[in-house]
């Protein structure tokens, strides 16, 4: 089953997906275009992995890590399906990263690799946006490059773990303005999902709705104001977001202020 969180008439509601409709707990049905998509879970901690695909490490001319290379994505980054991504003023190189995101379903503390998947309740798509300008040794871990406002599109929904037969064999594709830019498969992760969960749980407790973003394959490229990103992961769906310039946002705010 697919689960989402949307705004309907200004009210946030948890819904399920039935084809072209979202269905409320009370059975009311709305077309996808008639709701505003929110991040599909009210997340706790969001952890992400750097360089968890060897081909991505190679395209960045870096070695693949010997253990999971973790960093945090913060709540200010989150935006739902069809939400707007803001390109910060003055940056040179901003790019998407299409990632399978794992949603934790029950607390995990010092779990074994063998038991780790018992703690997964579902999967969604995460766009781990980054300004590559700032990914230098001074910004390690990459909090600044990865955590500008709107740099964490997620959704559009999450899918029950039971509905994904093999999360380690899912095709990943990314299109920008309809052009295929990125293509990979989750089988090529350096560290697989149970290894990641077990590793993290040795030093912190993972709780329900914590999210782990599992890294991105080769195929990053520049994105610019006006671009539309479409991130697909097999068995889940497609996450779409448009990019606007920060300057455009500021100009709109100034125009509104003058009009008042």
CA distance 125 to 211: 11
Same domain? For 16 and 103 the reply is no
| CATH code (residue 34) | 2.30.30.370
Instruction: Give the pLDDT confidence score for residue 253 in this predicted structure.
Output: 55
Same domain? For 138 and 64 the reply is yes
Same domain? For 45 and 82 the reply is yes
SS3 at position 95: strand
Same domain? For 30 and 93 the reply is no
* % of the chain residues with pLDDT over 70: 94
Same domain? For 162 and 251 the reply is yes
Burial of 26 (0-12, 13-18, 19+ CB in 10 A): exposed
Backbone CA torsion sign across 143, 73, 100, 202:
positive
Structure tokens belonging to residue 96: 């998407």
| pTM across the whole model | 0.94
Gyration radius of the chain over CA positions = 18
| Cβ atoms < 10 Å from Cβ of 180 | 12
Q: What's the average model confidence in pLDDT over 157-180?
A: 98
State pLDDT tens for residues 193-250: 999 999 999 999 999 999 999 999 999 999 999 999 999 999 999 999 999 999 887 6
Range of the domain at 11: 1-38
Q: What's the average model confidence in pLDDT over 59-72?
A: 89
pLDDT at residue 257 greater than cutoff 60 = no
Domains: count for the chain: 2
Write the CA distances from 2 to 34, 95, 157, 213, 236, integer angstroms.
Answer: 18, 28, 6, 19, 8
State pLDDT tens for residues 120-138: 999 999 999 999 888 765 5
| CATH code (residue 133) | 3.90.850.10
* % of the chain residues with pLDDT over 90: 84
Which residues pair with residue 16 across a beta bridge?
A: 3, 23
């Amino acid at each position: 089953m697919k689960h989402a969180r949307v705004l309907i008439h200004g009210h946030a509601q948890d819904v399920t997906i039935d084809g072209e409709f979202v269905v409320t707990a009370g059975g009311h049905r709305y077309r996808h275009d008639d709701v505003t998509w929110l991040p599909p879970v009210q997340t706790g901690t969001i952890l992400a992995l750097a360089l968890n695909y060897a081909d991505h490490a190679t395209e960045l001319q870096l070695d693949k890590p010997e253990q999971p290379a973790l960093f945090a994505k913060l709540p200010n980054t989150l935006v739902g399906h069809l939400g707007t991504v803001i390109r910060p003023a003055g940056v040179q190189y901003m790019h998407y990263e299409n990632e399978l995101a794992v949603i934790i379903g029950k607390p995990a503390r010092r779990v074994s690799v063998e038991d780790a998947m018992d703690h997964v309740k579902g999967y969604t798509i995460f766009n781990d946006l980054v300004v590559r300008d700032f990914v230098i040794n001074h910004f390690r871990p990459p909090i600044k490059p990865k955590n500008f406002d709107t740099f964490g599109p997620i959704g559009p929904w999450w899918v029950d773990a039971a509905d994904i037969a093999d999360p380690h064999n899912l095709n990943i594709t990314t299109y920008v303005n309809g052009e295929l830019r990125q293509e990979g498969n989750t089988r090529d992760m350096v560290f697989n999902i149970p290894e990641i969960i077990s590793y993290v749980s040795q030093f912190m407790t993972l709780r329900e709705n914590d999210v782990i973003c599992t890294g991105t394959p080769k195929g990053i490229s520049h994105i610019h104001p006006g671009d539309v990103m479409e991130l697909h992961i097999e068995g889940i769906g497609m996450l779409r977001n448009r990019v606007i310039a920060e300057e455009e946002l500021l100009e709109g705010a100034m125009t509104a202020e003058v009009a008042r």
